[in-house]
Structure 1
C-alpha cells in the first residue's frame, strides 16, 4: 500500500527564510527553462528538441555553470523542476490543459521535491535533515527541521519527500509504502446510497438502516465566503504601482483588500479541513464496524440540476465524490473491502417484487402498486445496491421501511458522530 502523509514542520524565522530562498531559486529556474523552451520552439524551429528524452533536464547543469547560486540547491529539487515543466507540456498536448505559463513566486510557493529514498534527506525520530547543496567552497549545506509527528512506522518505507507551504505554514509530505494488511472476511456489510436530501442512506446485514445527514459546515462556510468576497470586491485590486527595474513593476492591492483576501484564504482552508474531518470520522466508523462497504456510483451533474438556482445546493455543496474516495481509502487502509456499484435501475425498481416504475425526485416515500409494500426511496435504492452483489440481510428487514432506523450526524462542535434512533 502506497499513501501520502502530510506533517507540519516546526521552523524558526531563519529556517523559514532558507526554505523560501530554496523555493525562489527553483521558481526562477522553472521560468528560465520555460523561456529557453519557448525560444527554441519559436526562433529555432525546435532544433534542440527539449521535450524529447532528458534534453530539458540536461539544461539544468548548463544553467548552474552560468548561475552559481543554483548550486546551493540540492540536485533533486533542481532536476524535478525540469521534469515538472516537461510534464506540464505533456499534459497540455494530451489532455488540453493549456501551455505552461511563467510562475509568480508571490502567488504560489514552489514546492521542493526529493524524489529518491534517503537522497537529500534523512529522518531521525521527529527530526528531518535536509541537504541544500554546496557553498562557494564546495562544502555541503544542511538544515535540520522539527516534525510535529513521526512520519512512518518501522515496517514502512519512505519513497520520497516534498516540502510545501500553505497559509504561512510549512509541511513535509511523505510518500510511504506500507505492507498490505490481510483482507478481512466479509462477515459484516453495509450498502450505501448517496443522494442530495442527505449525504447517504445505508442498510446493513441485519436489515437496520442509517441516514447520514449532510455536513452543515458546507452551507455555513459558503455564506462566510460569500460575505468576504462581496467586501473584497469593492476594494481596490490595483491600488499602487510598485516599480522594480527598467520601467517594469507590478500593481499592489490596497491594505483592506489584502486583509480581506487573507481572511478569505483562511475561510477556504477551514471549510476544506472541516469537511475532511467529518468525512474521515464517518469513514473510520464504517471501517471499524463493517468488513465490506458497497456504495452507489452516483455523481451529480448539470443534467441533475436542471435550474441555475439548483447548482449550488446540488453541485457545490455536495460531498458525494469526496466521501466515496475517502471511504474507499480508509477501508483499504484498514484491510477491509470497498466496492463501487452501478446504480442503474436501483431507484425505480421495487426491492421486494422487482416492479419498475419511474418516480419523480420529490417522491421520497412510495407504495409499490404490485406488492403494496411501502418503502423509503433511499432505503429501496440501498437494498437494490446490496442485491446487485447478491447480499441480503440475514435476519430480514426491520418492520417499517418507510423511514430509517437511525440518523447519523457529524457534530463539529463536539468532534463526534451523533447517532439518534428515529
Structure 2
C-alpha cells in the first residue's frame, strides 16, 4: 500500500463537521470495546452486529458513513488480536490490554462515503455529517491511479491543520527502476554520540533535533501552563498556547523522520547488502539515563525506513544479534571488555586500534555475511557444505 497525503483548508463549519465525524468514530470504537469487555469471548461477527445496533439506536452514528463505522470496529479487533498474540507469545511486561480512546484524531472511510472530482484536485464526503468538498493541496497527482486502487481515505487532524490520506493498492517495487548493483556491503552501528558508524569508516553525526529544540519547547510549555485554569473552562489564549507547543513537537518529529528517511535511502542506493543490529529499543528506553537520547536518535524509525527501501529497491537488509558486537575485536575476534565511556577500541591481543563504533560495525557486517553465506543453497537443497567436506576429506566435521 502507498499512502499519499494532502493538506486541506476546511472552513469553520467544515472543521466542526470533521471533528464531529472523528468523535463519532471514537464513540463507536469505545462502545464496541465496552461490549467486548462485558462479553468476553465474542468474535468479529458479534462486534459488527453490535455496530449495526448502534447505528439504529443513535442518530448521530447513523449519519456517519457505514464503512467509517466498520473501520472503527476493525481498530478494536486489531487491538484485541494484538493483546491475545502478546499473551500467547508470553512477552515480558504489559501485554497491551485494549484501552478506550480519549482524543482520537482521525476518521477513516473505505470505498464509499467520498468522491473525487474529475481533475482529482477536490474530494467530496457524501455522508450526512456535512463535511462537503475539500481542496487537496499537494504535489502528488492522483490521475495516475484508478479509483478502484484507492482502498482507504482517512481524514487526520494534526497540530498544524487537517490532512486527507489515500491508501493506494500498489507494490512499491512497481514504481521504481531496478538499481545497478554497487557490489558493496556495509555494516552499520547506531549510537548516541554518532547517529551511525559504517564498517567502511564513515560516520554520520547525530542531529539531535529534540535536544536542539528542548529550550524552546520548555518555554512554550511554561507559557501554556501559566494560562491553564484548574477546574474552569480553558480560555482561547490557553488553546493558542497549547497549539504552539504541539506544533513545535510536530516540527521536531518531522525533522527526525526526514533525516532517518534520507540516511536510509542513501545507504540502500549505495550498497547491495546492509547489516544492522536487531536492537530491543523498547527495552532500552527503560533506562532513564539514556531514554531521551535513544528516543531522539530515532533508531526504530530508521530501521523501518531501511527495511522499506530495501524491499522497494531489491536490496538485502539483515538484522543480526547485537551480542558482543562492541566488545569483540573485528581483527582477531578476541573479546576486549570496555565500558560505554570508552570510545576507542584497543585490542591487547593484536594491537588493533579503531573507533569503537566502527569496530562494532565491522563485526555486524561479518555477522550479516555469515548469516546469508549459504542460505540459498540450503533452501534449494542442492548440497550440504559440511557433508561435502566430510566426503572429500574423509573426516567428521565438528561444530
Q: Does 1:167 align with 2:159?
A: yes
Q: Which structure's residues are more often helix, by fraction? A: 2
Q: Quick one: structure 1 residues 238 and 90, their matched pair in 2 at CA, closer, same or farther if it must change by over 3 Å?
A: farther
Task: Give the SS at the match of 1:55.
Answer: helix
- For the aligned residues, what is the CA RMSD? 3.4
Deviation at 1:145, TM superposition (A): 2.5
Task: Choose which of 268, 277, 282 in structure 1 pairs with 2:258.
Answer: 277
After TM superposition, the structure 1 stretch with the greater mean CA deviation from structure 2, 331-340 or 123-132, is: 123-132
Q: Does 1:347 align with 2:326?
A: yes
After TM superposition, the structure 1 stretch with the greater mean CA deviation from structure 2, 262-271 or 19-28, is: 19-28
Task: Give the SS at the match of 2:126.
Answer: strand
Asked whether the 8 Å contact 1:351–1:383 carries over to 2, the reply is yes
Deviation at 1:77, TM superposition (A): 0.7
Q: How does 1:4-403 map to 2 (within 5 A)?
A: 4-30=3-29, 33=32, 41=38, 46=39, 51-89=42-80, 91=82, 95=86, 96-101=95-100, 107-109=103-105, 111-115=106-110, 118-123=111-116, 124-133=118-127, 143-149=132-138, 150=140, 154=144, 157-167=149-159, 169-179=161-171, 180-181=173-174, 185=181, 187-204=183-200, 209-240=201-232, 252-254=233-235, 256-299=237-280, 308=288, 310-390=289-369
CA distance in 2, matches of 1:151, 1:176: 12
Asked whether the 8 Å contact 2:22–2:104 carries over to 1, the reply is no
CA distance in 2, matches of 1:358, 1:196: 19
CA distance in 1, matches of 2:286, 2:67: 47
Asked whether the 8 Å contact 1:193–1:378 carries over to 2, the reply is yes
Q: Over residues 352-372 of structure 1, what are the superposed CA-to-partner deviations in whole Å (9 max), with x where a residue is unaligned?
A: 222222122222223322222
Task: Give the SS at the match of 1:357.
Answer: coil
CA distance in 1, matches of 2:266, 2:304: 15
Task: Give the SS at the match of 2:297.
Answer: coil
Deviation at 1:151, TM superposition (A): 5.8
After TM superposition, the structure 1 stretch with the greater mean CA deviation from structure 2, 25-34 or 159-168, is: 25-34
CA distance in 2, matches of 1:79, 1:154: 28
Q: Quick one: structure 1 residues 188 and 121, their matched pair in 2 at CA, closer, same or farther if it must change by over 3 Å?
A: farther
Runs of 5+ unmatched residues, structure 1: 136-140, 241-251, 392-422
Q: Quick one: structure 1 residues 210 and 4, their matched pair in 2 at CA, closer, same or farther if it must change by over 3 Å?
A: same
Task: Give the SS at the match of 2:17.
Answer: helix
Asked whether the 8 Å contact 1:287–1:336 carries over to 2, the reply is yes
CA distance in 2, matches of 1:346, 1:144: 56
Asked whether the 8 Å contact 2:182–2:272 carries over to 1, the reply is yes
Q: Over residues 298-336 of structure 1, what are the superposed CA-to-partner deviations in whole Å (9 max), with x where a residue is unaligned?
A: 345777986x5x235543433222222222223323333
TM-score, scaled to structure 2: 0.75
CA distance in 1, matches of 2:51, 2:282: 45
Q: Over residues 127-155 of structure 1, what are the superposed CA-to-partner deviations in whole Å (9 max), with x where a residue is unaligned?
A: 353443369xxxxx883332223365736
Asked whether the 8 Å contact 1:72–1:132 carries over to 2, the reply is no
State how many pairs are aligned. 354
Deviation at 1:212, TM superposition (A): 0.6
Task: Give the SS at the match of 2:194.
Answer: coil
CA distance in 2, matches of 1:318, 1:154: 36
After TM superposition, the structure 1 stretch with the greater mean CA deviation from structure 2, 380-389 or 192-201, is: 380-389
Q: Over residues 221-246 of structure 1, what are the superposed CA-to-partner deviations in whole Å (9 max), with x where a residue is unaligned?
A: 22322333344445544252xxxxxx
Q: Over residues 198-240 of structure 1, what are the superposed CA-to-partner deviations in whole Å (9 max), with x where a residue is unaligned?
A: 1110034xxxx21111113220222322333344445544252
Asked whether the 8 Å contact 2:17–2:131 carries over to 1, the reply is no
Asked whether the 8 Å contact 2:120–2:143 carries over to 1, the reply is no
TM-score, scaled to structure 1: 0.71
CA distance in 2, matches of 1:120, 1:301: 38
Deviation at 1:272, TM superposition (A): 0.5
